[in-house]
Amino acid sequence: MVAASSRRPVVVPTEVSPKAKRRTFTAEYKRQVLSEADACVESGAIGALLRREGLYSSHLVEWRRSRDRGELDTPKKRGPKPRVTDERDATIATLERQLRQQKARADRAEALVELQKKVAALLSLSGDEPNERSS
C-alpha cells in the first residue's frame, strides 16, 4: 500500500483573517469621497465611484448626515458621556436616602409596638386567671 499522504494535494492557506476587522475611514477621506460624489452628474457615476472605492451607498448616506451635523470637522469622542452633576440631584439623592432610613426606623418602631401589645396581652391573660380563682 502506498501512503495516502504522498498523494494529498497541497492546501494553500486561506486568505480569510481569523478575526474580521472593521474598516475605518479618516475624515479627510470621507470629505474627499463626498466631494467626488457631489460632483457626479452622469447616471451611474456615483455607482462607479462606490465600486472603485469599495464602498456602500449607506456610507455616503451616513457621511452626508455627519457632514450636515458638522461631525466631520470635529471628531466624535468615544466612550461614555460625561455626567453633569447638579446640586439638585445630589440634594434629591440625600433626601431620598434619609427618607428610606426614616421609613425603616418607623417600621421597626411599629414592629416593637406590636410586640409589646402581644406581650401585654399574654401577660394580662396569664395574670387574670389566678385572681379570678382567689375571688
pLDDT tens by residue, 63-98:
999 999 888 877 777 888 888 888 999 999 999 999
- The predicted pLDDT at position 130 comes to 52
Torsion of CA 69, 71, 77, 79, to 10 degrees: 50
Nearest to 30 by CA among 73, 84, 69: 73
- The predicted pLDDT at position 78 comes to 80
CA atoms within 13 A on the CB side of 45: 11
pLDDT tens by residue, 105-133:
999 999 999 999 999 999 887 765 555 44
CA distance 3 to 6: 6
- The predicted pLDDT at position 127 comes to 63
Average pLDDT of the chain?
85
